[in-house]
Chains A and B, each alone.
Chain A
Amino acid sequence: KAGVTQTPRYLIKTRGQQVTLSCSPISGHRSVSWYQQTPGQGLQFLFEYFSETQRNKGNFPGRFSGRQFSNSRSEMNVSTLELGDSALYLCASSLRQGDNSPLHFGNGTRLTVT
């Protein structure tokens, strides 16, 4: 079974621009979560989508948004990029049959904002 696929792997953007990251979950997984990983803050939860609905959201500004499609694929968007948005963005999918369902992570998208 194919794993979680994230595209692109690397992105370089300029301050003020916007960016869209894509995630294809494991087949059959209906939950998709996004995390931001930085050296200073570690792994921080962005949001979770289940059946096209945002179920949970972390403590991030409104510039960070996402959506999920009917095939469970997800995208996240960051508008008006800031230097501090440079990070590894990780997508994870889950069966989400309860809070003990493990997350399966993709290899991430490395975003650099200059």
Chain B
Amino acid sequence: AQSVTQLGSHVSVSEGALVLLRCNYSSSVPPYLFWYVQYPNQGLQLLLKYTSAATLVKGINGFEAEFKKSETSFHLTKPSAHMSDAAEYFCAVSDGNSNSGYALNFGKGTSLLVTP
């Protein structure tokens, strides 16, 4: 089964600083990768997805992620953090096939704290 590992369960940055959230995948074939964000008492919202069309993927709210096959990584970045970015972030990989059905395997999540 394909899986992802998120490094760092908590990340703290100052407002205006670079945000870097790390995700490494484990896959023997090119994976489909996703980043989701979860605000308190809400469901998950898709930030961006990688589908092999381009290694640098731009998402919503100024976030982007770069797929690096040599490092099996798909780190999420944002040049300048806003207070509103404080949330839980999840990296996920699609697993399965058209016969057995699909599922997303999620990382453990990284809680982003933004300080004034």
With the chains together, A54 CA to B42 CA distance in Å? 26
Chain B contributes a number of interface residues (CB within 8 A of A) equal to: 27
* Contacts A99-B94, A107-B43 given; does A48 touch B51 at CB 8 Å: no
Partner of A100, one of B44, B51, B107: B51
Is B102 in contact with A48, judged by CB distance below 8 angstroms? yes
Most buried by B among A4, A31, A58, A98: A98
Is A103 in contact with B96, judged by CB distance below 8 angstroms? no
Q: Which residues of B contact A43 (CB under 8 A)?
A: 90, 104, 106, 109
Q: Which residues of B contact A92 (CB under 8 A)?
A: 43-44
Q: Which residues of A contact B95 (CB under 8 A)?
A: 99
The total of Cβ contacts below 8 Å across the A-B interface reads: 66
Q: Which residues of B contact A103 (CB under 8 A)?
A: 44, 46, 104
CB distance from A101 to the nearest CB of B (A): 8
Is A48 in contact with B103, judged by CB distance below 8 angstroms? yes
Q: Which residues of B contact A58 (CB under 8 A)?
A: 103
Partner of B34, one of A48, A55, A102, A108: A102
Partner of B103, one of A4, A33, A50, A107: A33
* Contacts A56-B96, A99-B96, A99-B97 given; does A4 touch B105 at CB 8 Å: no
A63 within 8 A of B: no
Is A102 in contact with B103, judged by CB distance below 8 angstroms? no
* Contacts A4-B43, A99-B94, A100-B49 given; does A56 touch B106 at CB 8 Å: no
Q: Which residues of B contact A101 (CB under 8 A)?
A: 102
Partner of B100, one of A31, A55, A102, A108: A55
22 contacts between A and B (CB under 8 A): A4-B43, A33-B103, A33-B104, A42-B106, A42-B109, A43-B109, A45-B105, A50-B101, A56-B100, A56-B101, A56-B103, A90-B43, A90-B44, A99-B95, A99-B98, A103-B44, A105-B36, A105-B43, A105-B45, A106-B43, A107-B43, A108-B42
Task: Report which A residues bind B (CB closer than 8 A).
Answer: 4, 6, 31, 33, 35, 42-43, 45, 48, 50, 54-56, 58, 90, 92, 96, 98-108
